[in-house]
Amino acid sequence: ERAHQHDPGRGGGGAGGGSVVTCRVLSEWRSCCSPGGTATVAAIDGSCADDSPGWPLRNLLFLAAARWKLETLRVILLREEKQGGAFSPTRSVSHVVQLPKTKMSEEALLHSLPAGEGVS
Protein backbone atom coordinates (compact mmCIF):
# COMPACT_ATOMS: atom_id res chain seq x y z
CA GLU A 1 0.00 0.00 0.00
CA ARG A 2 1.26 3.45 -0.87
CA ALA A 3 -0.15 6.83 0.03
CA HIS A 4 0.68 9.94 -1.95
CA GLN A 5 -0.05 13.47 -0.79
CA HIS A 6 -1.24 15.39 -3.82
CA ASP A 7 0.34 18.81 -4.32
CA PRO A 8 -2.37 21.12 -5.73
CA GLY A 9 0.31 23.43 -7.12
CA ARG A 10 1.39 20.70 -9.53
CA GLY A 11 -1.91 20.34 -11.41
CA GLY A 12 -5.18 18.54 -10.79
CA GLY A 13 -6.63 18.12 -7.31
CA GLY A 14 -9.25 20.15 -5.55
CA ALA A 15 -9.24 23.70 -4.34
CA GLY A 16 -8.17 24.50 -0.84
CA GLY A 17 -5.75 21.69 -0.11
CA GLY A 18 -4.26 18.41 -1.17
CA SER A 19 -5.93 15.06 -1.44
CA VAL A 20 -4.53 11.68 -0.52
CA VAL A 21 -4.36 8.93 -3.11
CA THR A 22 -3.78 5.40 -1.82
CA CYS A 23 -2.64 2.70 -4.23
CA ARG A 24 -3.56 -0.91 -3.53
CA VAL A 25 -3.27 -4.21 -5.36
CA LEU A 26 -6.41 -5.43 -7.17
CA SER A 27 -7.02 -8.18 -4.61
CA GLU A 28 -7.78 -5.41 -2.07
CA TRP A 29 -10.54 -3.90 -4.24
CA ARG A 30 -13.11 -3.92 -1.40
CA SER A 31 -11.10 -1.29 0.47
CA CYS A 32 -11.52 1.02 -2.55
CA CYS A 33 -15.34 1.10 -2.31
CA SER A 34 -17.15 4.20 -1.17
CA PRO A 35 -19.96 3.92 1.41
CA GLY A 36 -22.46 3.78 -1.49
CA GLY A 37 -20.74 0.69 -2.87
CA THR A 38 -18.94 2.26 -5.83
CA ALA A 39 -15.33 1.14 -6.19
CA THR A 40 -12.77 3.50 -7.68
CA VAL A 41 -9.90 2.22 -9.80
CA ALA A 42 -7.22 4.01 -11.77
CA ALA A 43 -5.55 2.64 -14.85
CA ILE A 44 -2.99 3.88 -17.33
CA ASP A 45 -4.75 4.49 -20.64
CA GLY A 46 -2.52 4.22 -23.68
CA SER A 47 -5.22 5.34 -26.11
CA CYS A 48 -4.28 8.09 -28.53
CA ALA A 49 -7.94 8.97 -29.11
CA ASP A 50 -9.24 11.75 -26.87
CA ASP A 51 -12.82 10.48 -27.02
CA SER A 52 -12.38 6.75 -26.33
CA PRO A 53 -10.35 4.68 -23.88
CA GLY A 54 -7.90 1.95 -24.87
CA TRP A 55 -8.91 -1.71 -25.05
CA PRO A 56 -7.41 -2.80 -21.66
CA LEU A 57 -10.26 -0.95 -19.93
CA ARG A 58 -12.67 -3.56 -21.36
CA ASN A 59 -10.84 -6.29 -19.43
CA LEU A 60 -10.91 -4.28 -16.21
CA LEU A 61 -14.66 -3.65 -16.59
CA PHE A 62 -15.30 -7.35 -17.19
CA LEU A 63 -13.30 -8.25 -14.07
CA ALA A 64 -15.32 -5.77 -12.00
CA ALA A 65 -18.65 -7.10 -13.31
CA ALA A 66 -17.94 -10.84 -13.41
CA ARG A 67 -15.60 -11.40 -10.48
CA TRP A 68 -16.33 -8.53 -8.11
CA LYS A 69 -20.07 -8.43 -8.94
CA LEU A 70 -20.06 -4.62 -8.96
CA GLU A 71 -22.90 -2.66 -10.51
CA THR A 72 -21.05 0.66 -10.67
CA LEU A 73 -17.36 1.42 -11.07
CA ARG A 74 -15.61 4.79 -11.05
CA VAL A 75 -12.65 4.64 -13.44
CA ILE A 76 -9.83 7.17 -13.55
CA LEU A 77 -7.85 6.84 -16.78
CA LEU A 78 -4.38 8.34 -16.56
CA ARG A 79 -3.15 9.55 -19.94
CA GLU A 80 0.23 10.83 -21.01
CA GLU A 81 0.91 14.03 -22.88
CA LYS A 82 1.07 13.38 -26.61
CA GLN A 83 4.71 14.45 -26.49
CA GLY A 84 6.81 14.38 -23.38
CA GLY A 85 5.72 11.17 -21.66
CA ALA A 86 4.43 12.76 -18.44
CA PHE A 87 0.92 12.06 -17.15
CA SER A 88 -1.38 14.92 -18.02
CA PRO A 89 -4.19 16.17 -15.77
CA THR A 90 -5.82 17.74 -18.84
CA ARG A 91 -5.81 14.52 -20.90
CA SER A 92 -6.68 12.14 -18.04
CA VAL A 93 -10.38 11.41 -17.62
CA SER A 94 -12.77 10.00 -15.04
CA HIS A 95 -15.93 7.99 -15.78
CA VAL A 96 -18.61 6.33 -13.68
CA VAL A 97 -19.60 3.13 -15.48
CA GLN A 98 -22.81 1.15 -14.96
CA LEU A 99 -21.80 -2.51 -15.32
CA PRO A 100 -24.07 -5.25 -16.67
CA LYS A 101 -24.83 -8.36 -14.67
CA THR A 102 -22.87 -11.35 -15.97
CA LYS A 103 -23.79 -15.01 -15.90
CA MET A 104 -20.25 -16.39 -15.96
CA SER A 105 -19.78 -18.90 -13.16
CA GLU A 106 -17.02 -18.47 -10.60
CA GLU A 107 -15.40 -21.72 -11.76
CA ALA A 108 -15.42 -20.70 -15.44
CA LEU A 109 -13.93 -17.32 -14.56
CA LEU A 110 -11.11 -18.86 -12.51
CA HIS A 111 -10.30 -21.34 -15.29
CA SER A 112 -10.06 -18.49 -17.81
CA LEU A 113 -7.18 -16.88 -15.87
CA PRO A 114 -3.56 -18.04 -16.19
CA ALA A 115 -2.35 -20.10 -13.20
CA GLY A 116 -1.61 -18.01 -10.12
CA GLU A 117 -3.30 -14.86 -11.42
CA GLY A 118 -6.69 -15.05 -9.72
CA VAL A 119 -7.93 -11.81 -8.21
CA SER A 120 -10.40 -12.27 -5.36
Q: Confirm whether 99 is domain-assigned.
A: yes
CB atoms within 10 A of CB 67: 19
**Is residue 15, in this structure, part of any structural domain at all?**
yes
pLDDT at site 98: 92
Total structural domains within the chain: 1
d(CA 31, CA 43): 17
Question: Which CATH number covers residue 85?
Answer: 3.40.140.100
Mean pLDDT, 10 residues at a time, the chain of 120 residues: 39 49 77 72 83 85 85 87 73 87 68 56
The pLDDT of residue 9: 39
pTM passes above 0.75: no
In-domain check, residue 18: yes
